[in-house]
Chains A and B, each alone.
Chain A
Amino acid sequence: MVRNEFRQEFVSPVSVFFFLILPLLFTAAVAAGLGGLSENGERPEEFRAELYVESRDEGPLVVAFLQALQEANLTVQVVEALPEDTFGLEVPADFSARLRRGEHVTVLLHTLPARSASQAVEQYVNAAAGRLAGAVRIAQSGQSRAQDAGIAVGAEEDSAFFDDVLRRTLEATQNPPAVAEVRWPEAVELAGTPGTGATGVEQASAGQMVTWVQITLLGAAQVLVDERERGTLRRLLVTPATRATILGGKLLARMCLGLVQIALLLGGGALIFGVKWGEQPLATALVSVAFAIATVGLGLLIATFVRTRGQANSVVVGGAMALAALGGAWYPLEVTPLVYRQAVRVLPSTWAMRAYTDLLARGATVADVLPYAGILLGFGVVFTAIGMWRFQAYE
């Protein structure tokens, strides 16, 4: 039965175009498009924006501020005048003096809204300013307590004491002794931390693979309709093979097709685009098999609802595209709101994408991807069980 399906699938050279060539072309196109998100193919966590600073103040707190900016993932360049079309920061002349007195002070950030990095630069500057402001507050408070206790006397000693507390506070906040590790409710939520996603080409390779393989795997929905419309289903059902065997054979064939396509697209991704798919072969295979089982199961379930080939085609292509888009195959889920990320957990494509991007971006091992594979297999068992149950009642 598997051989029969393969023969029918590849009877025309056009099939190879849709099976392999078109997905690779889309991978190239999408990788080029996503390049902007990851700045020349670098991972988001490696990204450092260049920030030009025009400061009319040369006081000690400006130096501390520049240091904090530098430590907040910005490459700081101090200039006389801000150049055009760059991220720029204007620091007023009384920055140190006002901050020292505990007064409110404003710095002016020039952003570039058209650049995807604008939001990140704004966050980095805010983080550095907040860190400095906090350190200044702590230093002032410490100085005040020292004065009350008579530890530091005289303006010069006071100032030295302030600078010392400020320096120590900034150091402490750069390397805090206690770190809060953020965890999502599910143990499997490895992804989703902003700034740890895949590069553009990795996202494109994984995303396009999931998209196109889903079309092949969900094609299980067409198999029964095709057999029904061709008249062969009735004949199959009166052969000495159980319905489970017939269905199992059909699904196994579809799964094998999907796995062959995955292997080809992974190979294509590695050879043509340099994506490092081969680093965790066992983990990749595990995720792929689980993804294939889940999606073929969904295809079977759909098959028991659709009545015509036209319906099946629409549902397969539309469904595969929708699942891919919602599940993060077309853009990183990290750019979506938390509520969205939580909502799309009901889709197998979401878990497949998380697993594949973890494999690429974080070098996830078999142990790391086991929870993803477990969830995908769970989807597969549920979909297949309902589909089989409905198929048994087919007349």
Chain B
Amino acid sequence: MSLVEARNLVKRYTADGPKAVDNVSFEIRDGEIFSLLGPNGAGKTTTISMLSTLIRPTAGTALVNGYDIRTEPMAVRRSIGVVPQDLALYGKLSGRENLRFWGEMRGLGGPALWEEIDEKLALMDLTDRAGDRAETYSGGMKRRLNLAIGMLGNPPLMMLDEPTVGIDPQSRRHILDYVRELNRAGAGTLYTTHYMEEAQELSDRIGIIDRGTLIALGTLQELTQMVGEHEMLRLQLYQPEAGQALVDGVRGLEGMHQASAADGEVVLSVAAVETTLPQVLTKAADLGLSIRNVEIREPNLETVFLHLTGRALRD
């Protein structure tokens, strides 16, 4: 059975405004980790908001665990766990009290809830601080508590909206491990992120979303095959502000497929590194630019995104 069948979802926030999500369709299979990968503002949160029944689609619909998000929102909510992008905790309540409140809001209660709270606190390494106010927790601990709340009731489908934004690498590592653990326990997962590495590491299948449109969908292997034989060159300049000038300079070079500049880096998709790289270095020298670092990568999701949109994922 499919956990999610999204059919032509469209969302406009105002009647004559742009489409935040435009005709998005995909499926999440039982026990699968499905990632929606895209830059900020691509429509990931809007998609997850529609699927979790927080907002109504302008057009299209979806079945979540077999329930229609338009006509059976309560059944959908009972069958999912949501971890929102922003921390959704009561800072003045302790970690345990937070879990109790949210558990009760999900209709849980009694000894079963108490047991589950203890279990989740242990799973998230929060047992020692369970009685402390959540506002005194570190950022990583708050993220873990946020995740634990979403897991209450062990729903068959978890929706995680960029759960690792703004946290340290160690906490991120923890959260990715928990997501995998959840998946091993049988829960399907819809995971949104703008970190390519997370999507690559976690996902069974990946949907790439940009400007509200799902532009690619498949396994990592299927997606990278879209790029063909292209490889990715990543250059760091000593003059980060001059990235766009270099991009403009190398666009016409032989074997150059895509070029993009972002965050002081120039990302190039090329047919053959051995022939194109010397030309790029020469062009940089002609422009008076100094190369600090060159990285050659096998095709990955960033290459795919660059290939499909002409922009880097972080643009």
Contacts and interface: CB of A to CB of B under 8 A. Distances in A.
Nearest to B81: A238
Interface residues of B, number: 28
Interface in B88-117: 88-93, 97, 101-102, 105-107
B92 A239 contact: no
B229 to A, nearest CB: 44
A239 B49 CA distance: 13
Given A4-B101, A231-B84, A231-B86, A238 B53 contact: yes
A231 B87 contact: yes
Contact of A239 (B55, B93, B102): B102
**Majority secondary structure of chain B interface residues (helix, strand, loop or mixed):** loop
Contacts of B74: 240, 242
Given A4-B93, A7-B97, A240-B107, A235 B88 contact: yes
Most-contacted residue by chain B among A8, A239, A240, A242 (CB, 10 A): A240
Contacts, number: 57
A234 B84 CA distance: 8
Contact of A395 (B13, B77, B133): B13
A237 interface: yes
Most-contacted residue by chain B among A235, A236, A239 (CB, 10 A): A235
Contacts of B105: 1, 236, 239, 241
A4 B84 contact: no
A235 B53 CA distance: 11
Interface in A1-20: 1, 4, 7-8, 11
Interface in A117-169: none
Contact of A237 (B13, B54, B89, B92): B54
A314 to B, nearest CB: 22
Contacts of A101: none
B265 to A, nearest CB: 32
A235 B84 contact: yes
B52 A7 contact: no
Contacts of A8: 90, 92-93
Interface string B277-296: 00000000000000000000
A241 B82 CA distance: 14
A231 B82 CA distance: 13
Contacts of B102: 235, 239
Contacts of A239: 77, 102, 105-106
A240 B105 CA distance: 7
Contacts of A242: 74
A226 to B, nearest CB: 10
Contacts of B97: 7
A238 B52 contact: yes
A395 B55 contact: yes
B173 interface: no
Most-contacted residue by chain B among A4, A8, A236 (CB, 10 A): A4
A232 B54 contact: no
B33 to A, nearest CB: 20
A240 B90 contact: no
Given A1-B105, A230-B91, 11 more contacts: A7-B97, A8-B93, A230-B89, A231-B87, A234-B54, A234-B88, A235-B82, A235-B102, A238-B80, A239-B105, A240-B77
